[in-house]
Structure 1
Amino acid sequence: MRRLLIVLLSLSLAGLSGPVAQAAPSGDRDVIVQLFEWNWNSVARECGQVLGPKGYGAVQVSPPQEHVVLPGSGYPWWQDYQPVSYKLDNTRRGTRGQFVAMVNSCHAAGVKVYADAVINHMTGGSSGGTGSAGSAYSHYDYPGTYQTQDFHHCGRNGNDDIVNYNDRYEVQNCELVDLADLATESDYVRGRIAAYLNDLLSIGVDGFRIDAAKHIPATDIAAITSRLSRPAYVYQEVIYGAGEPITPDEYVGNGDVLEFRYGKDLAKIFNTERLAYLRTFAEPLPSDHAVVFTDNHDTQRGTGVLTFRDNGRYAMANAFMLAWTYGTPKVMSSYEYSSNDEGPPSTSTGQTVDTTCFTNRWRCEHEWRVIANMVGFHNAVRGTAVTEWWDNGNDAIAFGRGDKGYLILNDESTALTGRSYHTDLPAGTYCDVFHGDYTPGHCSGSTYTVDSSGWFRADVAATDGLALHADAKVS
């Protein structure tokens, strides 16, 4: 929805004494891809055809609950972040049956499913209407789910909206852009939210991105997730604001948090500073509690981050994120938009059409060769340290990940030529996954041979890179 926050986790089984929050995705594959606004059938197909084979660990899907329908606003993307009920029967992305089939298809491909969970609020506006599954509603009345006593009525600022982000009470008890703010301290509200999340868990969903977590006290999120029926991975949207009283670190006790500073600082280095500064790149949140990303659906509609429109530089930034040691990476997959509110490619009645990558506004950054193949690099080097760092003092860098991988990035305006690089990779010939796809014993692009002393020679074009890793060894 229209605000950026960071998501917090705190999962414990009802009846158990300790938390069961997972502080990082389990398994050998932890890269998350956000297939923003994709319909369920398309996600199911992508899991089998691309995500699983390329090594993605999980897919973040858009909110699955019944939402408002706003034809007068052109069916904007953010209508999906205004819940009408917790039914999964009919959204712009499909039916409950299609959602279940999607989860099963992704699991068959070895890909986990994380649902974007909107639990801070319901809808905006006082006029009400009918939701995507046919449920009638008004601003503080959602028959069978919530009524006026289940919401905060903060009594400030005339229309109850948040105005002062330096006031903790206001941020967590007033309304975000007129969205009816749930009283998450209420036992009933906590139980109702937990029932929704448990319904998703019963289908097989593996975790949740908690939307607008900054607007929910950390203790309330902990109380809600303590009622989950089984362990789940949760990451929280808590946007850092300089000088604000609510900070991302207070949510770390509940699980992982989306690190919004990462994308802005990475873009600053690529755009106005030097890649050499990346040698010590990290953020204040502990690495094992941070979910990092170059951009997401909110930040790409703002300023100060790299997006798909930055092309080669964007690819390089994602390559660095996937090769570096900090945080759990989340890759963005977007569609083209001419206004910040514009929804995904849709029918005349607002139903999201099937995705065909690189056509009809779908940009599919997660399928770009560099990004998709660097997911394999990330998996291959997991658990190794940064070694053999080199830089030219400006915008060309190279580093290894132990004896498992080696990356070169050149953001200079001219090619890097006549250099040899030293790596801890075992001697052999490797596929450059920046420019070629690896299949056992073969590379569709260039290969490089590491000699018995760990040296190899390479020329790297401007705004380009090179990546070798142990799982793409040709001979």
Structure 2
Amino acid sequence: MIKKLRQLLTGIVISAVCYLPAAQADVILHAFNWEYSEVAAKAQEIANLGYKKVLVSPAYKSSGNEWWGRYQPQDYRVVDNPLGDTNDFQAMIQALQSVGVETYADIVFNHMANEAWLRSDLNYPGTLVLDEYAQNASYYNSIKLFGDLTDNLIAPWDFHDPGCITDWNNPGHVQYWRLCGGNGDTGLPDLDPNNWIVAQQKQYLQTLKNMGVTGFRVDAVKHMTNYHINAIFDQNIKNGVHVFGEVITFGGAGNSDNDNFLVPYMSGTGHAAYDFPLFAQMRSALGFGGSMSQLVDPGAYGQALPGSQAVTFSITHDIPLNDGFRFQILDPTDEFLANAYILGRNGGVPMIYSDHNESADKGDNGRWQDMYKRGDIAGMIDFHNSVQGSGMQVISHSDCHILFKRDHQGVVGINKCGNGIDVWVDTQADNLWWYRNYRDTLSSDVQYITSQWHKFYLPGRGARMWLME
């Protein structure tokens, strides 16, 4: 039984290691389902590629080799899952810190693991895990984050009543009922944000922060109330930490998911979020019948989040791995063009997804495996890091193309159509410097400006990211 006298339990507090200050560059590598030891081993390579943050999969007690097992927590008090344990997690943070890269942690606080197939009670982590702790007490106490591993952490009264979500447009229903898989599935036990649960979740966050974590991605935030989110992310936790949530929408202003969930989340918490509105706008602009003019200032029409609250992307793990979202996968060339746009534009924190072919069974053939080090991605990050902090001005746009500059430091051109396009630019009016090379980070093309009018050529179905030398 859980002890009746519930006190905040204290365990080991792992001190943060001093790390190099982050540069102005801000690109996040989503090392999806990577083992912590692999991230550590590749820390120098990651830094050399220009990434400044790495988001890793949830770090707590979870089981099962499938990727989705990481999103079904059993216990917050230890890091113990197929990706590594507490020692591996700490070693990874230190390896990244040593090369000036920050660690972001993915967290799941809406629910606990669905173990209805295994047992009927809602005590977590449950008898089987507690027995495992007892049989290996020395080891588990050595990797303990906090608490008393001889007792359960969560009891049946810490959950909402069972029942599956049926009305997906009703925030109350989405936030108080369970995520279920159908065919009689009883769903993921939905946590009630009572004082005890909030205290344990805050203890977990504080311990990760003490270890050196500087950012949190909040999974399934659509299913949590703003009360719950604000209770766990108090000012002490948020100080010096980047927090962003996942609210999947299929558009910006006017889309029901955006209006019912994303906007209230952002306004009610002040947190950042995945920029699904911008992603939908890119899909529309790049698609058949769309216009690249839609990307001139999408935020002005509610089709992009404010830059200070946006995490931008061309793919997230949910899109290829869940059948209901796969329709959003971009054509490979369109994805390349979308990456050039998010890494070339001003606004938002870009995130690059890189997996280990977890969607092989869906026929994706390793499309995003090792994407983090692909040549085009490296060139785009080089451009982004070099112009970060400079302004953005659109020079030219049409249904087929957009050409914009980052003050005088760089020029980005994207052409979604099949034929090449010549774009003439008034270099005096647009303040581009003469007698300097503007070298494309994606190819061998170099533009040397010597007169007022200069022609930039955009190849068909291609992008150029010219950086002033």
State the match for 1:194 in structure 2.
Answer: 202
Letter in 1 for 2:175: Q
Distance 1:112 1:147, change over 3 A: same
Question: Larger RCO: Structure 1 or Structure 2 (Cα < 8 Å, ≥ 6 residues apart)?
Answer: 1
Distance 1:127 1:398, change over 3 A: same
1:339 aligns with one of 361, 364, 368: 361
Is the 8 Å Cα contact of residues 128 and 136 (structure 1) preserved in structure 2?
Answer: no
Q: For residues 157-209 of structure 1, what are the alpha-carbon distances to aligned partners after superposition, in whole Å with 9 as ceiling and x for unaligned?
A: xxx1111123332211111120011111x010001111111121111011100
Aligned 1:392-403 pairs, distance under 5 A? 393-403=398-408
* 1:330 aligned counterpart, secondary structure: strand
State the match for 2:58 in structure 1.
Answer: 63
Matches of 1:424 and 1:374, distance apart in 2:
23
Q: CA deviation at 1:386?
A: 2.4
Matches of 2:309 and 2:238, distance apart in 1:
23
Letter in 2 for 1:401: R
Matches of 1:424 and 1:380, distance apart in 2:
18
Q: For residues 297-351 of structure 1, what are the alpha-carbon distances to aligned partners after superposition, in whole Å with 9 as ceiling and x for unaligned?
A: 01234234344xx333211111101111232222222343233599xxxxxxxxx
State the match for 2:447 in structure 1.
Answer: 448
Matches of 2:83 and 2:400, distance apart in 1:
42
2:466 aligns with one of 462, 465, 468: 468
Aligned 1:303-382 pairs, distance under 5 A? 303-307=326-330, 310-336=331-357, 337-339=359-361, 363-382=369-388
Matches of 1:330 and 1:284, distance apart in 2:
15
Unaligned runs of 5+ in 2: 1-20, 132-149, 181-186
1:260 aligns with one of 249, 256, 276: 276
State the match for 2:31 in structure 1.
Answer: 35
State the match for 1:208 in structure 2.
Answer: 216
Matches of 2:332 and 2:59, distance apart in 1:
31
Aligned 1:39-54 pairs, distance under 5 A? 39-49=35-45, 51-54=46-49
TM-score under structure 2 normalisation?
0.78
Matches of 1:281 and 1:92, distance apart in 2:
41
* 1:339 aligned counterpart, secondary structure: helix
Q: CA deviation at 1:57?
A: 2.1
* 1:331 aligned counterpart, secondary structure: strand
Is the 8 Å Cα contact of residues 416 and 462 (structure 1) preserved in structure 2?
Answer: yes
TM-score under structure 1 normalisation?
0.77
Matches of 2:455 and 2:305, distance apart in 1:
37
State the match for 1:351 in structure 2.
Answer: none
Matches of 1:146 and 1:256, distance apart in 2:
29
Distance 1:188 1:27, change over 3 A: farther
Q: For residues 345-402 of structure 1, what are the alpha-carbon distances to aligned partners after superposition, in whole Å with 9 as ceiling and x for unaligned?
A: xxxxxxxxxxxxxx977622222222222122222222333225113x3212211111
* 1:303 aligned counterpart, secondary structure: helix
Is the 8 Å Cα contact of residues 122 and 181 (structure 1) preserved in structure 2?
Answer: yes
Q: Percent identity?
A: 25
Matches of 1:192 and 1:65, distance apart in 2:
13
Letter in 1 for 2:70: D
Q: For residues 56-79 of structure 1, what are the alpha-carbon distances to aligned partners after superposition, in whole Å with 9 as ceiling and x for unaligned?
A: 22111111111132xxxxx32111
* 1:247 aligned counterpart, secondary structure: helix
Is the 8 Å Cα contact of residues 198 and 229 (structure 1) preserved in structure 2?
Answer: no
Letter in 2 for 1:171: V
* 2:207 aligned counterpart, secondary structure: helix
Is the 8 Å Cα contact of residues 276 and 394 (structure 1) preserved in structure 2?
Answer: yes
Distance 1:192 1:394, change over 3 A: same
* 1:209 aligned counterpart, secondary structure: strand
Give 1 or 2: higher helix fraction.
2
* 1:322 aligned counterpart, secondary structure: helix
Q: CA deviation at 1:114?
A: 0.7
State the match for 1:243 in structure 2.
Answer: 256
Matches of 1:36 and 1:247, distance apart in 2:
25
State the match for 2:129 in structure 1.
Answer: 135
Matches of 2:22 and 2:205, distance apart in 1:
19
Is 1:165 the counterpart of 2:172? The answer is no
Is the 8 Å Cα contact of residues 423 and 455 (structure 2) preserved in structure 1?
Answer: yes
Matches of 1:77 and 1:361, distance apart in 2:
17
Is the 8 Å Cα contact of residues 221 and 247 (structure 2) preserved in structure 1?
Answer: yes
* 2:103 aligned counterpart, secondary structure: strand
